[in-house]
Structure 1
Amino acid sequence: MIWPFKPNPKKQIARLEISGAIGGSTRQQVLKALKTIKEKQYPALLLRIDSPGGTVGDSQEIYAALKKLGESVKIVASFGNISASGGVYIGMGAHYIVANPGTITGSIGVILRGNNLERLLEKIGVSFKVIKSGPYKDILAFDRELQPEEQAILQALIDNSYQQFIETVAQARKLSLDTVRSFADGRIFTGHQALELGVVDRLGTEEDARSWAAELAGLDPDKAECQTIEEPKSLVKKLTGNVISTAPVGASWAWLEFELATQGQPLWLYRP
């Protein structure tokens, strides 16, 4: 009997891809994958990020898990087409970052959006009666205008979240807070500009990042292969592939779901 060959994880590089908006489901999948990488004792992780960012808390939990994993595993992040806002924050959990020259990155900052449908509701004759325990319990309610004192409260919340962001970038990239503030005003920039600013370590492809991860782990870059860590696909996904998720309608629906789920939440997110 010939036993099937099973590659030794200690001789391989784990590969994990984070794509799309970062939310609760992304966090669950990533944390589970990082646990698998730890248990199987992969010496290195190639972290591919192609994300515009997402929710603050989920981004922070992924970052914290990467920092913990980095105590025993070498981590090199590879920025894809876009790695902005929360995508940048997650990248700070890697030991090193590689970006393509044309990668869209940056957008370091916080955004919170709410809808005011007061005039529309008046036109159709709809009104709400609200009983609340305090004056700010229904802050960002969609049926009334935001008051100046409420705006001040929300601005303080945004400022605090922003401070957490720039402190993490400054610490990870060994930059001063003033230096980070100079470009962390929400602007986007290319991978080439990111290198000049000190946000990334090298320019290169995902393959370059893989080779670097192998070298850091003491493996032969020419022989070390990547093992992509992902959740087992359901029968439906196996039969349909990514047709549903990548179709324009599917992508638009996913964005709509994300917008509705995160309404009124501070976001580390870039969306043109």
Structure 2
Amino acid sequence: MSIDADQITDRRRLKRRLSLWRIAAIVAIAVALIATSLQSGLFPPSEQIARIRLEGVIADDPALIDLLHKVRDDKSVKAVILYINSPGGTASGAEAIYENVRSIAAKKPVVAVLGTVAASGGYIAALSADHIVARGNTITGSIGVIFQWTQLKDLMGKLGIEMREVKSAPLKAEPNPFTEPSPEALKATEALIQSSYRWFLGLVQERRGFDEATTRKLGDGRVYTGFQAEENGLIDEVGGEQTALTWLRKERQVSDRLPVRDWTPAEDEFGITDLVGKAMARAALSTMEGLSQKTLHTKRLTLDGLTSLWHPEAR
């Protein structure tokens, strides 16, 4: 009798386990169907304020631009908070962000909230917003453009190494680290910098309402704290996200009771498109967070082209 009783008990346990797995499977399928329905537009999402994070070194980022397009066209998004914590990056990358955020602002209000640093290209991105809020000790400004190269001519001479080249014209690949730049090369590089710098100054003058003299005075490359930036008119208010929400409510009649939801660029590096697959991929990647961060930093800091970037020199 004891054997029969044990078998009956085991069967009951097995049935309970199977039932739990069935329930879990049904719930997972239901969640996936709901998520798919929301993404397909079958059930319109509720009204919200979108938060877009711009962090790290700025570079050309098609995924981010695609995200900005989606936020612009999504009717459920009533306003945008652009959170910026960036020292800048490539001038062209910041230009792309500026233009696409301005296209959002043509349809719905955008507030920039500056974090620890929003300088150079980070400040260009901030200029795209209708209102700029920064912490009192945020590092911002650094209005300018830089082009740098390492000069190795003397070092190579000491090592007995000579760089030889054949090129189509004297200014091809100039300046370069292997030869002393000619006056013509330096003049051409200076013209390149000034062209981009005039564009940057024009953005500041237009967006902040300065005259040319004030713009050039403030745009001499220095950085400012949030307190100084407010005094000089480079930002509108000292505060944080709540300050931004208050401005949206008072000036643009956007309820500060709307949920603020993070919007992030699509990530499909592993070819995983189903909901469960993405969850599993994120769980696996979380165990490699430290390595991933190092890889991202290495990729981001490989910048080509004109750079609008602020970083204190290590001494």
Q: TM-score, normalised by structure 2?
A: 0.76
1:239 to 284, 292, 295: 284
Where 2:112 maps in the other structure, the secondary structure is: strand
Which stretch has the larger CA shift, 170-179 or 123-132? 123-132
Where 1:43 maps in the other structure, the secondary structure is: strand
Larger radius of gyration: 2
Aligned-residue Cα RMSD (Å) equals 2.5
Partner of 1:78: 113
Residues 116 and 21 of structure 1: is their aligned pair in 2 closer, same or farther, counting only changes over 3 Å?
same
The separation in 2 between residues aligned to 1:119 and 1:259, in whole angstroms, is 26
Matches within 5 A, 1:33-44: 33-41=67-75, 42-44=77-79
The separation in 2 between residues aligned to 1:245 and 1:212, in whole angstroms, is 40
Gaps of 5+ in 1: none
Partner of 2:58: 22
Query: Is the 1:13–1:214 contact (alpha carbons within 8 Å) kept by the matching residues of 2?
Result: no
Where 1:47 maps in the other structure, the secondary structure is: strand
Query: Is the 1:11–1:219 contact (alpha carbons within 8 Å) kept by the matching residues of 2?
Result: no
Query: Is the 2:144–2:200 contact (alpha carbons within 8 Å) kept by the matching residues of 1?
Result: yes
**Cα distance per residue 1:57-106 (max 9 Å; x no partner):** 11111101111111101101101110001111111111111111111101
Query: Is the 2:49–2:259 contact (alpha carbons within 8 Å) kept by the matching residues of 1?
Result: yes
Query: Is the 2:79–2:254 contact (alpha carbons within 8 Å) kept by the matching residues of 1?
Result: no
1:130 Cα deviation (Å)? 1.2
The separation in 1 between residues aligned to 2:90 and 2:48, in whole angstroms, is 32
1:261 to 295, 303, 309: 303
Where 2:62 maps in the other structure, the secondary structure is: helix
The separation in 2 between residues aligned to 1:225 and 1:245, in whole angstroms, is 33
1:8 Cα deviation (Å)? 5.7
The separation in 2 between residues aligned to 1:232 and 1:260, in whole angstroms, is 22
> Which residue identity does 1:12 align to in structure 2?
Q
**Cα distance per residue 1:153-196 (max 9 Å; x no partner):** 11121112111101101100111121111111111111111111
Matches within 5 A, 1:149-188: 149-188=184-223
1:260 Cα deviation (Å)? 3.9
Gaps of 5+ in 2: 1-26, 269-279
Matches within 5 A, 1:181-260: 181-221=216-256, 223-233=257-267, 236-241=281-286, 243-244=289-290, 250=294, 254-260=296-302
Residues 95 and 230 of structure 1: is their aligned pair in 2 closer, same or farther, counting only changes over 3 Å?
same
Q: How many residues matched?
A: 263
Where 2:83 maps in the other structure, the secondary structure is: strand
1:255 Cα deviation (Å)? 4.9
For the pair 1:110 / 2:152, whether they are aligned, the reply is no
1:237 Cα deviation (Å)? 4.4
Which stretch has the larger CA shift, 130-139 or 113-122? 113-122
Aligned-residue sequence identity (percent) comes to 29
For the pair 1:270 / 2:310, whether they are aligned, the reply is yes
Q: TM-score, normalised by structure 1?
A: 0.87
